[in-house]
Amino acid sequence: MGEILGSSIAGYSVMTVDGEEIGTLVNVTMDSTTGDLRQFVIDPADRTPDFERNNEGHVEIPARTFRSRGDYVLVDPTPTDDPIARGRD
């Protein structure tokens, strides 16, 4: 992913690689032991596709789904059975 501070991408719109807007990035969680990014926490858009929401109503997507950052943060939340591609969710 390179070196991008979580605070520098907070507020960005998040979109899937298929062009579906998910919402606005509000936070990034990390593993405090390893420093690995874990989840993107997203305030969902009104028309958010069928993503599960946490108790606060946010969508959480694994950080390993990150693809690029430009005008949007692009993610590819396509499920996979490949344990290497899945990471350590």
Q: What is the pLDDT of residues 54-81, one digit of tens each?
A: 899 898 988 888 888 778 888 888 765 4
pLDDT (tens digit per residue) in 34-50: 888 889 899 998 776 67
Return the percentage of the chain with pLDDT > 70, whole number.
76
The structure tokens 């305030």 sit at: 43
Distance CA 79, CA 85 (A): 9
What is the token pair recorded at 34? 């390893």
Global pTM reads 0.71
Q: Distance of alpha carbon 82 from its chain centroid, rounded?
A: 19
Q: Domains in the chain and their CATH numbers?
A: 6-78 (2.30.30.240)
Say how far apart CA 29 and CA 19 lie, in whole Å. Answer: 24
Q: What is the mean pLDDT of the chain?
A: 78
Of the two residues 84 and 32, the one the predictor is more confident about is: 32
